[in-house]
Structure 1
């Protein structure tokens, strides 16, 4: 992976539609710009409820608070890069894998797309051998077969062009190394772990073993370290059983060579300089740096003691009450106007069930439960409801957005406090531990927002209301 990714602007990818409206910048920090469409997507994520064992009212979700969080996250990524955390092996591998996938896909689309022609005779041949398929299904099979054929031919051409050569003399030694890591790990594995772990690539391989060549080609190479990283991507039950032999090692090597060899060809043609690819790689790297930097900040926070956990529970036992629940029926409406008409009909004596069957987007639904965790920001409008009460119109989460609804409450099950117990203590411990870690991250974010200059264009987010955005989402 070259350093170009680190210097790439996190700029918008070129739009496929030249008439598409220009993206609106809402904040900037360093060489990164945050756009309004990104903020809108994040608002829709943040507003969604999260079911939890013990409900805790979340802070208000606003465009200002969420944008501040996004800027703070970018500052955290910048700090991680300054600390050199971008050289972390797992981060580098994730970025390299994504780069390989993207540029190889673009290469194959360019080279093979024009050659992908399916004749009626190809489809007829598939139907002859598999008569139960429909013609559309047979065409799909024919297309996939053609793709595989073209891909194999093209890979062979590229491998020859780039002078791919296996270092066969190192295959047997790789098999020996595999057996050592499998049967004699440096650190004992768990009693049910019978496979080689990712961590062993770091702890059990010497530098000389990691760099041992298994293949070379113009523009790259494949080492024992690459081979073990590939192996560890296999689910343990699906790992080959013959890796104690050179032949088994070679078969895994064959699987691993295609991506790097084709990526070398793609790079020679400049696909790795594509702005869209660079932008996606930068986003991935920023995300991984964010989590790694947070991990570094909180790693020394000790788990709470039993005494601290008990004091945490005693300070507010209501935090560990069972969640309140409403048993309800709902009429989901396509818009507020329809919901208001239904409300008027109810107020004039209309039957709720009959109106639901006539107007609701979900007509035949049994009564079900609403909880703070399922309702999120809308729970406050439901919390004080009573049996037989009809609420609304009020918004509620529906599909990938929100819709207006009327709610008929059948039963109210209030929250119930619980005595301190071993189970409650365990939950309280992890809640307290999580709070301490969040406070440490928030303190770090505050420091970094003061350290890294940034700008927020408040006038461009003033009218962004997350509930209104959710209500305007089209169902998917």
Structure 2
């Protein structure tokens, strides 16, 4: 069920990002989709340049080759550092880093460090990490197709619940007496927008003639929302209405029914949702065929609780995020 929600699958989204080793989902999902290739300028290649052969040798250190693929791997690991330097300096920087790496790795091997048990464990971990990235790119990220994103949007539109939207202006003053005085002037033909600019104490709308744009009732405090909803004709002005912010006069400009955001507006969120859906489905299938044992009972219980939390977050597959309701007209 593709449920409408004001939040976007927070736990599941965080899990996908964490498993990518990423900080920002869309950009780093794209990197994971091509783990052996850095962005075009990350390794100092001109934008639009032909794709380098991953096996091409860039340098050798004591006969040990540094390839274009090595530069790409290093560019992934050092993405933040590369962003801080000019593109024309990045390639040389990466080659220098890899030369240092080869020299130090050679020295470590000479000391027998590559035979130590802890190193072997780290090596196994890094192998699993690299395989996970490739699997994510080839199996999971590949499922996020334009058709999958379109299907999510179609689900969202099918379940979208239209609401009445009100376009209104208001004048906010401190006392009922002042509000009634201004109402009398308006009834006598005074321009509402001009009075709002002159008298309203709402800094967010006064300079715009009191214009609040379109809003739904749930975005406003109840007395204001009720009074605005009760207006039926364009140009109609309410009686003074009290809220926690003062006294309002409300002028109705227009009413309409809300429509769903466009595909373009929701594009990034839909892609993230499609990624989470593909991730959850694929991992669930893998887990059903896996035998997992955790020696510590307390840790096992904590892991199970975490899984239940994640399952709960993805069960409804939250719809693209909506803007949180406001509590009052701009103040």
TM, length-normalised to structure 1: 0.29
TM-score (norm 2): 0.39
